[in-house]
Chains A and B, each alone.
Chain A
Amino acid sequence: MDYTYYPGCSISASAKPYDDSTRAVFEALGMGLHELEDWNCCGATVYMSVKETVSFAISARNLALAEKLGRDVVAPCSACYLVLNKANRFLHELPDLSEKVNDALSAAGLKYEGTVRVRHPLEVLVNDLGVEEITKRATKRLDGIKIAEYYGCQIIRPERTFDDQEFPQTMDQLFAALGAENVYFPMKVRCCGGMLMTTSDEVAMKLCYDLIECAKGNGADCIVTTCPLCHMNLAAYQDRLSRRFGMDLHIPVLWFTELLGIALGLDVKTLGLDHHLEPITDKIMSLAGL
């Protein structure tokens, strides 16, 4: 099982532990992850709202480079996942757009036929390897830990790709099989605010408050996410949120690959757990072997 890895810009800097843990988990499970050489920014939501044809062309450069390699692309960032998938679908559904984009690509001697599949690591692990197989390879049980699985928006919307859009279960089933207890968390697909934390922070703060308050109120020891930006919003502003809403809103926020890595016996350093902004509680740390 070999894949082309598209890390994305956030993961290369602000979400480094997600990058480290994704690579480590794939390696531990014997799945090859080969970074796409010289990938460029996917365009994110920002580019999409400014110039649509240009944004598709810059997404398509990545798809064209990946197409030459013939493997499925794994994109751990929800925004990259959505943008690359959206580009794929629009190019497929609109032949004239595809023609224009290929015209633009030809300026750099590239061509995109439209054959690349863009997938999220969560879906790849659960569908290609399987929960049963992952459980077999786990060296540690997650018994006694209560988690709120947070899927966010863009890996399940707007396209129905691998899970239910209102009540996804992929992570819940994976971590339940590994021994964790899933708390009641009806906010699992509610938005964290995304870039609003920068452009309209009061609105985003309210959304993050809703999420953390719900997870904590239902007894979660940690929130588990699948996205760099969700993680940033939920983890980096906990002091400010606690002051703003007058209650303790501190909670560890782990990328799903970090928690999975713990179950696979990987150590704190390999998983990047020592690079978090929010306090990681002793309960999680002792589970991770510290």
Chain B
Amino acid sequence: MAEIETPGVLPKRESELREAFLEQVDIVPGGEKLRKCIQCGTCTGSCPVSYAMDLSPREVIARFRAGDIESILKSRTIWICASCYACTVRCPQDIKITDLLYALKRVSMEKKIRRSRSVYALSDAFVRSVKMFGRNWELALLTEFYLRTNPLNLIKMAPLGLRMLRAKRLGIWPERIKGRGDLKKIIERAEQIERPQERVAVRAVTDEVGYEAIQP
């Protein structure tokens, strides 16, 4: 856990991460409900993969409130979530936990605090495929992924690849859409667009948890 020297005052790095996270929370409809968490643990109990996490979903919220986002971003938790939304639908306070974990992933990638090379490599390969062809070319996606993470896995996966090929279920060639140029323009324009930050909502959440984002 990042050291907090003066009670009530967050270290500069923590305030920066906090701000980046709250900006991301702001994109999620209902994201501000984060502050209504009663720490009941229903999320953790409903999560099929919490056993493999180092921080449980409940603990993620507790650490955020305690002013320790850095340890969340470094945890395995945000990369283990499989997006099954079991926590989200069972949360008695209607907190969008899965979406909050997405927000944390985005901050972690943006701030280059990536613990999981593998998820990053997968996203990267996926984004490239969509930009290039307009569709996901599964074969190239997985080949690139294994090459970048653990090339030995290519050998491990080869028999499955051959079975897929025999079953005529492996796309040897990419499917390209005609509107590739259009899609590229849309993505480029969207990348340029910054959504205005709603400072009011950010401050509301910050105040609720008892910390002000002051730079010491």
Contact = CB atoms under 8 A, between A and B. Distances in A.
Interface of A: 9-10, 12-17, 38-41, 43-54, 56-58, 61, 89-90, 93-94, 96-97, 100-101, 103-110, 153-154, 157-158, 160, 165, 189-191, 193-196, 198-200, 202-204, 207, 210, 236-237, 275-277
Contacts of B196: 96
B116 interface: yes
A90 B28 CA distance: 8
Interface of B: 24, 27, 29, 48-49, 52, 79-80, 82-86, 88-89, 96, 98, 102, 105-106, 109, 116, 118-119, 122-123, 126-127, 129-130, 134-139, 142, 145, 160, 163-164, 167-171, 175, 177-179, 182-183, 185-191, 193, 195-196
Contacts of A97: 27, 195
A205 to B, nearest CB: 11
Given A104-B190, A107-B186, 8 more contacts: A38-B178, A41-B136, A45-B83, A46-B127, A194-B82, A195-B82, A199-B116, A200-B118
A108 B29 contact: no
Given A38-B178, A190-B48, A276-B167, A195 B109 contact: no
Contact of A58 (B80, B118, B130): B130
Given A104-B186, A190-B48, A157 B168 contact: no
B179 to A, nearest CB: 5
Contacts of B169: 13-17, 275, 277
Chain A contact residues, majority secondary structure: helix
B179 A38 contact: yes
Contacts, number: 199
A17 B169 CA distance: 9
B177 A39 contact: yes
B140 to A, nearest CB: 11
A107 B188 contact: yes
Nearest to B183: A40
Nearest to A187: B48
A157 B134 contact: no
Contacts of A189: 86
Contacts of A157: 84-86, 88-89
Given A43-B130, A107-B188, A165-B89, A96 B168 contact: no
Contact of B186 (A105, A191, A193): A105
Nearest to A97: B195
A41 B48 contact: no
A53 B135 contact: no
A101 B187 CA distance: 10
Contacts of A100: 190, 193, 195
A49 to B, nearest CB: 5
B135 A12 contact: yes
A52 B105 CA distance: 11
Nearest to A160: B89
